Amino acid sequence: MWISVFRDRSGQVRQQLETLIANREILLTRFTQLELLQGSLNEQEWTILSTYLEVQDYVELKASSWQAAARI
């Protein structure tokens, strides 16, 4: 989903994502944070993403959650 947002030049996917975020219909994990920051193309993108991600709520996973995810 996140790649679609960054590749969308029309802004439609971004608007849909903003609605999901505003309505709290999306969850973030630290793994998502890591992937988004790794995808930064330059220092400016890193700063924008990092600033945004610093204030988001995250679902903190337990060790058993990672093990269960590995089985999916």
pLDDT at 47: 95
Q: Which residue has the higher pLDDT, 69 or 3?
A: 69
> pLDDT tier at 1 (50, 70, 90 boundaries)?
low
Cα–Cα distance for residue pair 68/71, rounded to 1 Å:
5
36: how many CB neighbours lie within 10 A of its CB?
20
- 17-72 pLDDT, tens digit per residue, is 788 878 877 788 888 899 889 988 899 999 998 998 998 888 888 889 888 888 98
- Domain ranges for the chain: 1-70
